[in-house]
């Protein structure tokens, strides 16, 4: 925990001006909350010396600082602030799933389930609550910037960081990321939205050039960021490592100046990803702050920026703009008005938020013969999996949260630094035993398949945990390990009531799916994951999670089967080292037709479609009505026709525009329904989803004509459809 020497804005102002008889309000940007963040930022920047301004535009990565000053703790980023003017140190920590540990000893924090688990809730209110909880812990630990808001679309199923992201759909990702950012910032902490943009794989992330047409980008990854920024208003946007159609993203004036700051009117600051700056030219392209300077080849925003300012290559006005944007983000989010409320954490309450999110994000994929929910009468339960008596798997890399008691798998003997999986201290065997008090719980690691099968045959039901570990800096294969696939086959042959619980970073291939009656996608379920899974297995929670990504039946169904650049670049390297790898291009030829849109375009049948998830109850849709005109407005009634309360997520899709088939999620609504209950929900489509990007007009364009719209419980299942007429129009970006 940080104990700062920092002076807070109001303290400084009071001390400096207590004796002044006349002190104009207008000159007191720090304490004068009646001024707008823009006014306060402009006033404080006007009082800064050149050196003070420079201290805000390049900052440190504490882990690599030599020597490390006393008031700096191990975390992602640090800037000393401007104590004279009451600007606190900028203390940055990762990430979207909670306060990351960054190697600090005995530091507790609450771990949310993975981004894909959160997104499977399709629930912005829950995203807000989750954001609020991690924002609060960020402040309690003395940080004021959370490097959260991972908005990148899941383009390729092998991306090692998919677990940090939300979905393959721009609307779903944008709305949910926006709600999370809002929740975080409600706690007087700045959140980022990251990684801007198209850092869609980890292989060669420092050198890859992501190529895509402007229209496709606007309709997909950029749209996700645009919606997230509109709804969440993050203080900062983090530009990504990769290049975009030529220049590095952090040096792309198209991206930073034209799109972000001009078209979208973004008023906050752009910070670089750690090691993503390659020249001082980035300042003129729109980058406002160099992060983690220790991992760049040079501190471009120090010496080279001073030289560029002296020669006029970068203007003084641009430096002022950079600093004003940083200060604006700090004022707008209350960082200047209040010191952190240092711990202690309210772990119990915060864990309850994590558990609620995990419960709502678990997706029931298969339930043949209603194996689930487990019967109260079950007498002997076999729990199988390598760490079922240790904890639940989590994703690795900078976002790794480590609640007290997390188990980290030791590094193999004789290796240098290699990432290894961590298990959150939520133990499946214990959680199941606590719930099924009368049953006998037996468990096995599954290392010996014959022994596991023998145990399985002695039980009434088997809960088999299958896992896929993913981490930042590495992409993955889509199969579970060969051993796990054989284990599933062996155990399922021994006991017909085998329930597979998947803890994975994203979608996996399931050639074994037919062999088992039930499959549960629990993603990385977070610090209370085992309890959440148990409650779903026993029916205390009726599963309502819906897939935010497509699960393919075969790897060939994806536009790319392996990451471009694999074999060309080293895996798992640090930025400076990585930058020496040979550059290569990734051609995103599928454009904005990613995920379910791609499957629809190619008429491919997924194993489990986008939006899909089973429940322990059933629903019936009726009275589907849609009006057209400027956008599509939908109403539909949903009835719970089963015997348990549940939450249904009605999804509305565009199937076909006037010229071509285009499957697109237009909106969704959730109805919480008791047995027999009936509700009508309404959905108004964001018109950008009915439009295409017109590159010549630099605007969205809706073509006049007929649009086919359907409603259903997932992208592949229309329960009712209709056609509407849309008025042709062009509108602002
Ligand atoms: C990651 C960012 C992270 C930063 C600081 C980078 O390697 O890409 O997501 O915020 O490190 O830890």
630-644 pLDDT, tens digit per residue, is 999 999 999 999 999
Of 527, 585, 593, the closest CA to residue 558 belongs to 593
User: Mean pLDDT across the chain, nearest whole number?
Assistant: 95
Cβ–Cβ contacts within 10 Å for residue 682, how many? 11
Ligand 1 site residues (CB inside 6 A) read: 76, 94-95, 147, 194, 273-274, 398
Tell me which residue has tokens 């047995």.
Answer: 675
In the chain, the percentage of residues whose pLDDT exceeds 90 is 89
Q: Are 304 and 280 in contact (CB under 8 A)?
A: yes
The set of residues, in sequence order, having a beta carbon less than 8 Å from that of 430 and lying 6+ positions away, is 389, 530
The predicted pLDDT at position 27 comes to 54
**Atom 7 of ligand 1, nearest CA residue:** 274
Cα of 274 vs centre of ligand 1, distance in Å, is 6
The predicted pLDDT at position 14 comes to 46
Catalytic annotation present for 475: no
Cα of 115 vs centre of ligand 1, distance in Å, is 16
Atom number of ligand 1 nearest to Cα 100: 12
Q: Which two tokens stand for residue 362?
A: 């678990």
Cα dihedral 702, 704, 705, 706 sign: positive
Of 495, 489, 494, 491, the closest CA to residue 512 belongs to 489
The predicted pLDDT at position 106 comes to 84
Cα of 195 vs centre of ligand 1, distance in Å, is 9
3-state secondary structure of 559: coil
Give yes or no for residue 579 having a pLDDT over 90.
no
The predicted pLDDT at position 21 comes to 34
d(CA 204, CA 198): 13
Average pLDDT over residues 159-170: 98
**Atom 4 of ligand 1, nearest CA residue:** 274
pLDDT band at residue 460 under the 50/70/90 scheme? very high
Average pLDDT over residues 602-612: 98
Cα of 471 vs centre of ligand 1, distance in Å, is 12
pLDDT band at residue 19 under the 50/70/90 scheme? very low
pLDDT tens-digit readout, 71-88: 898 999 999 999 999 999
Atom number of ligand 1 nearest to Cα 92: 5
Atom number of ligand 1 nearest to Cα 398: 12
pLDDT band at residue 8 under the 50/70/90 scheme? low
The predicted pLDDT at position 335 comes to 96
The predicted pLDDT at position 17 comes to 39
Task: Give 3-state DSSP helix, strand, coil % of the chain, rounded to 5.
Answer: 30, 25, 45
pLDDT band at residue 16 under the 50/70/90 scheme? very low
Candidate from 202, 274, 295, 401 with most ligand 1 atoms within 8 A of CB, to mutate: 274
Q: How many residues does the chain have?
A: 733
Cα of 131 vs centre of ligand 1, distance in Å, is 18
pLDDT tens-digit readout, 510-555: 999 999 999 999 999 999 999 999 999 999 999 999 999 999 999 9
More confident residue, 14 or 122: 122
pLDDT band at residue 20 under the 50/70/90 scheme? very low
Atom number of ligand 1 nearest to Cα 164: 9
d(CA 194, CA 673): 36
The predicted pLDDT at position 11 comes to 55
HEC readout, 389-440 = CCCEECCECCCCCCCCCCEECCCCCCCCCCCCCEEECCCHHHHHHHHCCCCE
**Where are the alpha helices (H) located in 499-607, listed in sequence order?**
529-537, 575-578, 596-601
Q: Which residue in 209, 273, 296, 444 is the catalytic one?
A: 273
Average pLDDT over residues 701-711: 98
Q: Which two tokens stand for residue 201?
A: 């794989």
Give yes or no for residue 664 having a pLDDT over 80.
yes
List of E strands, 410-568: 422-424, 440-444, 461-467, 498-503, 518-521
Cα of 312 vs centre of ligand 1, distance in Å, is 32
User: What secondary structure does DSSP assign to 13-36, as a single string?
Assistant: HHHHHTT-S---GGG-TTT-TTS-
Q: Which two tokens stand for residue 596?
A: 């379910």
Average pLDDT over residues 145-154: 98
pLDDT band at residue 351 under the 50/70/90 scheme? very high
Average pLDDT over residues 127-150: 98
Is pTM, for the whole model, over 0.95?
Answer: yes
Least confident of 295-299, 412-416, 559-563, 672-676: 412-416
Q: What is the DSSP letter of 514?
A: G
353-155-657 Cα angle (round to 5):
105
Q: Which two tokens stand for residue 351?
A: 């864990």
Q: Are 599 and 550 in contact (CB under 8 A)?
A: yes
Atom number of ligand 1 nearest to Cα 95: 10
**Atom 11 of ligand 1, nearest CA residue:** 274
The predicted pLDDT at position 24 comes to 46
Of 265, 164, 163, 170, the closest CA to residue 220 belongs to 170
Tell me which residue has tokens 């997230």.
Answer: 228
Candidate from 73, 198, 273, 275 with most ligand 1 atoms within 8 A of CB, to mutate: 273
């Amino acid at each position: 925990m940080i104990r700062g020497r920092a002076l807070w804005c109001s303290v400084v102002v009071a001390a400096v001006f207590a004796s002044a008889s006349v002190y104009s309000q207008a000159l007191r940007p720090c304490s004068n909350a009646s001024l707008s963040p823009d006014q306060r930022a402009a006033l404080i920047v006007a009082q800064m010396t050149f050196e003070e301004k420079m201290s805000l535009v390049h900052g440190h990565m504490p882990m690599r600082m030599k020597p490390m000053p006393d008031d700096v703790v191990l975390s992602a980023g640090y800037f000393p602030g401007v104590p004279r003017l009451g600007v606190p140190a900028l203390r940055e920590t990762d990430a979207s799933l909670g306060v990351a540990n960054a190697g600090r000893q005995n530091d507790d924090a609450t771990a949310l389930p993975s981004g894909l688990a959160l997104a499977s809730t399709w629930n912005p209110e829950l995203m807000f609550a989750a954001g609020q909880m991690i924002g609060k812990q960020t402040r309690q630990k003395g940080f004021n910037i959370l490097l959260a808001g991972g908005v990148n679309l899941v383009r390729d199923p092998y991306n090692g960081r998919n677990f940090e992201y939300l979905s393959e759909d721009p609307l779903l990702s944008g709305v949910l990321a926006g709600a999370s950012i809002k929740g975080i910032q409600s706690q007087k902490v700045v959140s980022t939205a990251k990684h801007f943009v198209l850092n869609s794989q980890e292989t060669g992330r420092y050198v890859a050039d992501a190529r895509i047409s402007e229209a496709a980008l606007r309709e997909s990854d950029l749209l996700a960021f645009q919606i997230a920024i509109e709804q969440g208003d993050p203080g900062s946007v983090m530009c990504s490592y990769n290049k975009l159609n030529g220049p590095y993203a952090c040096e792309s004036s198209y991206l930073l100046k034209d799109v972000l700051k001009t078209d979208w009117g973004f008023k906050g600051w752009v910070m670089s990803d750690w090691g993503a700056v390659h020249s001082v030219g980035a300042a003129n392209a729109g980058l406002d702050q160099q992060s983690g300077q220790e991992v760049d080849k040079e501190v471009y925003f120090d010496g080279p920026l001073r030289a560029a300012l002296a020669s006029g290559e970068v203007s003084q006005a641009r430096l002022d703009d950079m600093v004003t944007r940083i200060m604006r983000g700090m004022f707008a989010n209350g960082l200047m008005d209040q010191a952190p409320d240092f711990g202690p954490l309210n772990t119990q309450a915060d864990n309850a938020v994590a558990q609620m999110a995990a419960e709502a994000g678990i997706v029931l994929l298969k339930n043949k013969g209603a194996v689930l929910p487990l019967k109260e009468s079950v007498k002997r339960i076999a729990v199988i999996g390598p760490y079922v008596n240790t904890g639940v798997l989590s994703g690795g890399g900078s976002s790794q949260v480590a609640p007290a008691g997390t188990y980290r798998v030791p590094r193999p003997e004789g290796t240098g630094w290699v990432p290894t999986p961590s298990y959150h201290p939520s133990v499946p065997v214990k959680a199941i035993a606590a719930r099924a008090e009368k049953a006998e719980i037996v468990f096995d690691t599954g290392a010996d398949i014959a022994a596991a099968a023998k145990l399985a045959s002695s039980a009434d039901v088997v809960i088999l945990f299958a896992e896929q570990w993913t981490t930042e800096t590495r992409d993955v294969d889509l199969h579970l390990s060969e051993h796990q696939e054989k284990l599933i086959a062996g155990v399922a042959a021994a006991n017909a009531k085998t329930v597979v619980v998947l803890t994975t970073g994203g979608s996996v291939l399931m050639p074994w799916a037919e062999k088992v009656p039930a499959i549960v996608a629990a993603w990385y379920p977070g610090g209370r994951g085992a309890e959440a899974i148990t409650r779903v297995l026993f029916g205390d929670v009726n599963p309502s999670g819906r897939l935010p990504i497509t699960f393919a039946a075969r790897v060939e169904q994806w536009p790319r089967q392996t990451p471009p650049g694999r074999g060309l670049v080293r895996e798992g390297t640090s930025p400076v080292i990585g930058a020496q790898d040979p550059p290569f291009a990734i051609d995103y030829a599928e454009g904005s037709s990613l995920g379910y849109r791609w499957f629809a375009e190619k008429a491919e049948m997924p194993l489990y479609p986008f939006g899909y998830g089973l429940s322990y109850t059933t629903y019936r849709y009726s009275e589907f009505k849609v009006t057209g005109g400027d956008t599509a407005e939908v109403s539909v009634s949903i009835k719970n026709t089963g015997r348990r309360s549940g939450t249904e997520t009605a999804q509305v899709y565009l199937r076909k525009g006037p010229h071509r088939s285009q499957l697109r999620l237009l909106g969704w609504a959730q109805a919480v329904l008791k047995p027999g209950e009936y509700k009508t929900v309404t959905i108004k489509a964001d018109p950008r989803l009915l439009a295409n990007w017109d590159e010549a007009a630099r605007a969205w364009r809706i073509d006049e004509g007929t649009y086919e719209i359907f409603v259903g419980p997932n992208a592949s299942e229309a329960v009712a459809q209709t056609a509407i007429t849309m008025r042709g129009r062009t509108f602002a970006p």
